Amino acid sequence: MLTLGLSSCNRYNTLYGTRQITKNPDTLALKKRIAQIKSISPTVFEAGTFTGKSTPTIKYRLLQPQQKKADLQKYPLVIVFHGSGATGTDNINQLGVLAKLWADPAIQQQYPAYVLAPQFPTRSSNYVLDSGRNVLKSIPQPCLKTALELIDSLKRTLNIDEKRIYVIGFSMGASSVINSLSSRPELFAAGVSISGIPEFSNVKALANIPIWLMHGKLDTENPGDSDQQFYKEVNYQNKTRFWEFEGTAHNDIISIPILGEEIPKWLFKHQKK
């Protein structure tokens, strides 16, 4: 069983709505958990390259379900989008803690899934001011379209449960989560956006998709007022969860609740009808 993160899950049993998360003072436990996840070898993820109809070509890593049973067994697909700091072509840097979390043996045992971690060669999302709302909004870039084409390709070649395709991301990757949901709302069962900038072009469709937003209250890199506005507009179907982390800046939000089973547990509660 997991030694960290699981004991706190009972405190967060509300699927939707807002919650203020107090900063955990146990930095030693967090450092140990991060070190544990980082120690997972990138070689457990298969390396690949994909060229679709769109440009550019992107590299990716794919984790196979470690508890595979019959050949016809279908498994969820989890897509993990990285932040801008992992942009490149080495096919390694995108394997941060949000991606490697899914390779933790305890997580894979309880939540077996295919896990796709594409690496964007350039930014997948850019930000501009939404003058009508007076907050930043995100605009998807061409490489994100290639990543969506990659997902379609994997659906044709792997035993993926198409009712359980999930997308998560941090920072730029979180912005790309909302961009992806906006572009292809029929594709995904749920999404998790951590410290991102949303887009507002398809809010009506997104209201029917379970979305979990997380943002640090001290985030000045991607200000939280964009997510606050997005939550106000998208939550009229009561399918959105918004956690705000007290005393937390942009790069400090990765915490014990995030690195335990809370994200997999929440995602796996959802599937398309």
Average pLDDT over residues 113-141: 98
pLDDT score of 145: 96
pLDDT band at 9; cut points 50, 70, 90: very low
Residues 86, 117: Cα–Cα separation, whole Å: 11
Average pLDDT over residues 73-85: 97
pLDDT score of 8: 40
pLDDT score of 6: 33
- What pLDDT digit, counting tens, does each position of 240-252 carry? 999 999 999 999 8
Tell me which H or E stretch contains 178: helix 172-183
- Check if the beta carbon of residue 169 is closer than 8 Å to that of residue 263: no
pLDDT band at 215; cut points 50, 70, 90: very high
| Tokens 């956006």 belong to residue | 193
Return the bridge partners of 62, or none. 46, 116
- Spell out the residues 6+ positions from residue 194 whose beta carbon is closer than 8 angstroms to its own: 98, 168, 169, 170, 171, 174, 214, 215, 253, 254, 258
> With 50 as the cut, is the pLDDT of residue 211 above it?
yes
Count Cα neighbours of 69 within 13 Å in the Cβ-side half-sphere: 7
- Check if the beta carbon of residue 125 is closer than 8 Å to that of residue 140: yes
pLDDT score of 26: 72
pLDDT band at 24; cut points 50, 70, 90: confident
Residues 215, 224: Cα–Cα separation, whole Å: 6
- Check if the beta carbon of residue 160 is closer than 8 Å to that of residue 136: no
Residues 103, 80: Cα–Cα separation, whole Å: 12
State the chain's mean pLDDT as an integer: 92
- Domains recognised in the chain with CATH numbers: 6-268 (3.40.50.1820)
Number of neighbours of residue 153 by Cβ within 10 angstroms:
12
- Lowest mean pLDDT of 85-89, 121-125, 227-231, 236-240, name the range: 236-240
pLDDT score of 3: 35
> With 90 as the cut, is the pLDDT of residue 27 above it?
no
pLDDT score of 106: 94
> With 50 as the cut, is the pLDDT of residue 7 above it?
no
Residues 199, 136: Cα–Cα separation, whole Å: 8
- Check if the beta carbon of residue 148 is closer than 8 Å to that of residue 183: yes
Question: Count H helices, E strands: the chain?
Answer: 9, 11
- What pLDDT digit, counting tens, does each position of 40-73 carry? 999 999 999 999 987 789 999 999 998 766 667 8
Full-model pTM: 0.93
- What pLDDT digit, counting tens, does each position of 152-198 carry? 999 999 999 999 999 999 999 999 999 999 999 999 999 999 999 99
Residue 5's region, left for phi above 0, alpha for psi from -120 to 50, else beta, is left
- Check if the beta carbon of residue 98 is closer than 8 Å to that of residue 80: yes
Average pLDDT over residues 18-44: 89
